[in-house]
Amino acid sequence: MKKYSCLIIALISISSFAQNKQSNNPKPSTSSLKPKLVVGIVIDQMRWDYLYRFYDAYRADGGFKRLLGDGFSCDNTFVPYLPTVTACGHACVYTGSVPAINGITGNNWWDNKLKKEVYCVEDKSVQSIGGKSDDGQMSPNNLWVTTITDELRLSSNFHSKVIGISMKDRGAILPAGHAANAAYWYDGKSGNFITSTYYMKEEPQWMQQFNSKKVADSLYDKNWNLSLPRNIYQQSCDTNYSAYVKQLYGKEPVTFPYNMQQFKGKDYTKILSTPYGNTILGELAKTTIASEQMGRHEATDFLAVSFSSTDYVGHAFGPNSWELMDTYAKLDETLGSLFDYLDKTVGRNQYTVFLTADHAGAHIPEFLDKHGIPGGRMDDGDIKKELNSHLKEQTGIAKLINAVHEFDIYLNHTAIDSAKLDEGSIKKNITQYLLKKEEVLNVVDKQNTSIVPTKIREMIVNGHNPQRSGDLIIIAKTGVMDAGKLGMSHGVWNTYDSHIPLLFYGFGIKHGSLKRETYMTDISATVAALLHIQMPSGCIGKVIEEVIK
Ligand SMILES: [Zn+2]
């Protein structure tokens, strides 16, 4: 008996020793494994090379130099699908998925099932909140997969707060995902940030107050002056480009300073195509963080910020303009001020930032031409008109083309079938017609993509969805774009449209850079790994391991 009691005492002491040992090494709480806040930043139309081409415009205490100096830069990140446009870019960054899977095949598409034009985030079943116009009838309902922000909400039993903000509706809605607490976008008619009944019945008090301040008016008051000495712009940019850029601000000549006071209290759309669109959004980001206590909850919060004015200014003036360089100089200040604010409120190294772009952009064809570099223009609308009249001549049937978006040609299958036409011959006819054009490199039947190099082929396949894509796609010659008569655009496979910046900074992020190729689809996969949460449901990207500590 005595023997047994000794054994029992010994067992008890071993087990209590084990317990003590356990309590000396407590399991780390999950909150120390995660940042308090993730700030996802998308700069609309930012080319990767702007990090370096405009380096002299960035301040030591600004945003870009902080990310480059202390963060991690993936220097060869590419968009892996077509078309390289805003809606597809925001959807891909936040879903790690491509149009073929996530359903966002363009800013607009012809829906082969619904037989009508669709805008990427339109939703007539919801109403505007915060403004009277129908610009609020928007939701993420056309997006078929989850976002990294949805996954964060799911992982925390919806305790994580997720908010998307942008000057563009699609720039706020697609990143915020399906289960967001809110998405707010700018309404140029009222100058207010609005939302829809998809998210809420009424805007919070703080947003109503922000709107009533009419920040746009105080920015218009400053006019648009250059931030830096003129020689810095002269070094990096074209000096005579007024003949081929868009005049956006009334009848004024294309030269600094621009008179913005003329729009005060009258026209709130003009602010979009000035650097001040980014300034307002930077202010809204700080107000959102303060008012919603972002980064001060038990669970990780997520603020998705998409700066759109870089795209508007880029389209009008092009990558080699003083206007664009100055827009980046001012954006750098806005980013610097946002990071300082995050340091103060959430705490340095308590938040993680990633910064990328939804797509890049091309040089203005006439600017290229001035220097003997190939380029050109070809218009989607003109192609549709021409093809329809050519096919009518050939077959006697009108409107055999439903739509052309980003050189993607949607056949009218109903008309083809009811006239008992042979689809193969129609496609052949279109191809032969288009190949005669100077600007066309090739015309690809989506059923047979093997006729183009692997890189282009992959981008076509990743971008193709039978319900929301066309049947034939034009691959234009290098430098050719759908941009009207002035300014520039983007949307094609070439590196100038598909090479984007990708920077990570803050909690859990190493310092360094990477030269190997990475993809836009890898962003969500990497953020999921950092947050220890599931990747989005349609994610095809890979974790960029080098980034994470
Ligand atoms: Zn654009």
Q: Do 523 and 96 form a contact (C-beta atoms < 8 A)?
A: yes
Rounded CA-CA distance 283/345 in Å is 15
- pLDDT of 28 > 90? The answer is no
C-alpha 545 to ligand 1 mean position (Å): 31
Residue 430 makes CB contacts below 8 A (sequence gap 6+) with 387, 391, 409, 443, 472
What pLDDT sits at residue 253?
A: 82
What pLDDT sits at residue 5?
A: 52
C-alpha 45 to ligand 1 mean position (Å): 6
- pLDDT of 2 > 80? The answer is no
Classify burial at 19, counting beta carbons within 10 Å of its beta carbon; exposed 0-12, middle 13-18, buried 19 or more.
exposed
C-alpha 489 to ligand 1 mean position (Å): 6
- Per-residue pLDDT band for 33 (boundaries 50, 70, 90) equals confident
β-strands 108-111, 512-519 pairing: unpaired
**Sign of the dihedral through C-alpha 401, 403, 407, 413:** negative
What pLDDT sits at residue 131?
A: 84
The fraction of the chain above a pLDDT of 70, given in percent, is 94
Residue range 182-193, pLDDT digits in tens: 999 999 999 999
HEC profile of 380-392: HHHHHHHHHHHHH
Q: Which of 17-26, 147-156, 207-216, 309-318 has the lowest mean pLDDT?
A: 17-26
Backbone dihedral angles phi then psi of residue 466, each to the nearest 5 degrees: -60, -35
- To which residue do tokens 């805007």 refer? 203
Respond yes or no: is residue 86 known to be catalytic.
Answer: yes
Backbone dihedral angles phi then psi of residue 446, each to the nearest 5 degrees: -60, -20
Closest CA to 188 of 269, 273, 128: 269
- pLDDT of 461 > 80? The answer is yes
- To which residue do tokens 């980064």 refer? 295
Listed in order, strand segments (DSSP E) in 230-312 are 301-307
Phi-psi region of 204 (alpha: psi -120 to 50; beta: other; left: phi over 0): beta
Rounded CA-CA distance 387/399 in Å is 9
Residue range 381-440, pLDDT digits in tens: 999 999 999 999 999 999 999 999 999 999 999 999 999 999 999 999 999 999 999 999
Of the chain, the end-to-end C-alpha distance in Å amounts to 57
C-alpha 156 to ligand 1 mean position (Å): 35
Q: What type of residue sits at position 523?
A: I
- pLDDT of 441 > 60? The answer is yes
- Per-residue pLDDT band for 468 (boundaries 50, 70, 90) equals very high
Give the Å distances, CA to CA, from 11 to 5, 8, 16. 10, 5, 9
3.90.550.40, 3.10.50.40, 3.10.129.10, 3.30.1360.150: CATH of 379-436+440-476: 3.30.1360.150
Q: Quickly count helices (H) and strands (E) in the chain.
A: 20, 19
C-alpha 490 to ligand 1 mean position (Å): 6
Residue 542 makes CB contacts below 8 A (sequence gap 6+) with 521, 522, 525
Residue range 345-395, pLDDT digits in tens: 999 999 999 999 999 999 999 999 999 999 999 999 999 999 999 999 999
Classify burial at 457, counting beta carbons within 10 Å of its beta carbon; exposed 0-12, middle 13-18, buried 19 or more.
middle
HEC profile of 468-517: CCCCEEEEECCCEECCCCCCCCCCCCCHHHHEECEEEEECCECCEEEEEE
What is the fold of 32-370+494-547? Alkaline Phosphatase, subunit A (3.40.720)
SS3 assignment, position 130: coil
Domain chopping of the chain, boundaries: 32-370+494-547, 379-436+440-476
Q: Do 147 and 524 form a contact (C-beta atoms < 8 A)?
A: yes
Rounded CA-CA distance 225/214 in Å is 21
Instruction: Give the mean pLDDT of the chain.
Output: 94
Q: Pick the catalytic residue from 86, 146, 274, 345.
A: 86
What pLDDT sits at residue 14?
A: 47
Ion ligand 1: residues, Cβ under 5 Å: 311
What pLDDT sits at residue 10?
A: 47
C-alpha 479 to ligand 1 mean position (Å): 16
What pLDDT sits at residue 19?
A: 45
**Helix (H) or strand (E) run with residue 499 in it:** strand 499-500
- To which residue do tokens 């600094």 refer? 256
β-strands 351-356, 37-43 pairing: parallel
DSSP states of 392-434: HHHHS-S--EEEEETTEEEE-HHHHHHTT--HHHHHHHHHHHH
Q: Do 294 and 31 form a contact (C-beta atoms < 8 A)?
A: no
Beta-carbon neighbour count of residue 424 at 10 Å? 10
Higher pLDDT, 31 or 112: 112
SS3 assignment, position 509: strand
What pLDDT sits at residue 6?
A: 47
- pLDDT of 299 > 50? The answer is yes
- pLDDT of 130 > 80? The answer is yes
C-alpha 119 to ligand 1 mean position (Å): 15
Listed in order, strand segments (DSSP E) in 431-487 are 440-445, 472-476, 480-481
What pLDDT sits at residue 1?
A: 44
